[in-house]
Structure 1
Amino acid sequence: MNVSLLSWCVIVLAVLAANLPFFNQQLFALIPLSKSPDYRKPVWVRLLELVVLYFVVGALAHFFEANIGNAFTQRWEFYAVTGCLFLVLAYPGYVVRYLRKSHA
C-alpha cells in the first residue's frame, strides 16, 4: 500500500479515536456502563479510554510501519510528543462535551 495513504489513515484513525470517549456514554462505544438513560460517564473513565485508544492507534501505526518496511525503535521523546498530539486531537470532543453551553 502507499505510504502516504497509510499515513493519512493513521491520522484519521487517531482523530476519531481521540474524540470517541467524549461522544458517547458507553465504554469504548461498545459496552454500556449503566441502563439509566441519564447516566453520565465519569471523567476518569473517559481519560482511561483515551490512554487505551492511544496505545491501540500506536500499535496499529507500528503494524503499518512494519508492513511497509523497517519499523524504527522509538525512545521516550517520541511517545511524549505523540501523547501530547493525541491530547490535542481530543480537544474538539472535550469542548463539545464540557465547554459548550447546553440550551436546556
Structure 2
Amino acid sequence: MNASVSVWLVLAAAIVGANLPFLNQRWLGVIPRSAPKTLGLHVAELVVCYFLVGALGLALEKADGQIYPQGWEFYATTAALFLTLAFPGFVYRYLFKRHA
C-alpha cells in the first residue's frame, strides 16, 4: 500500500471514528446498552476512538517505513482535527430538532 492510500484510509477512519459515538447508542458501535448514553459516555467513547484511529495511523506508518517522532503540538493538532470531524455527529445527536 502506498503512502497516499494510507493517508486516505486514516482520514476515512477518523471521520467514521469521530462520528460513531454520536450516531448510535452502542458502545464503540458494537456492544449494546440498555440505557441511552450520556454526554460523558459520548466523550469517553470519542477519546477511545481517537486513540484507535491513532493506532491505525501508527501501524500504517510503521508498515510504510520509519515512525517519525512527534511532539505535543502534533497531538494537540490531531485532537483538534478529530473534534472538528466529530461536529456533524454532535449536531445530529444534540442540536438537531426531531419532530415526533
| TM-score normalised by length of structure 2 | 0.96
Instruction: Percent identity, please.
Output: 50
Q: 2:54 aligns with which of 58, 69, 72?
A: 58
Q: How does 1:36-51 map to 2 (within 5 A)?
A: 39-51=35-47
Task: Give the letter aligned to residue 25 of structure 2.
Answer: Q
The list of structure 1 runs, each at least 4 consecutive aligned residues, that deviate by more than 2 angstroms after superposition, is none
Task: Give the letter aligned to residue 11 of structure 2.
Answer: I
Q: What's the counterpart of residue 96 of structure 1? A: 92
> What is the alpha-carbon distance in structure 2 between the residues aligned to residue 69 and residue 31 of structure 1?
35
Matched pairs, number: 100
Aligned pair 1:24/2:24, yes or no? Answer: yes
Name structure 1 gaps, 5 residues minimum: none
> What is the alpha-carbon distance in structure 1 between the residues aligned to residue 7 and residue 16 of structure 2?
14
Name structure 2 gaps, 5 residues minimum: none
Q: What's the counterpart of residue 83 of structure 1? A: 79
| TM-score normalised by length of structure 1 | 0.93
> What is the alpha-carbon distance in structure 2 between the residues aligned to residue 65 and residue 97 of structure 1?
33
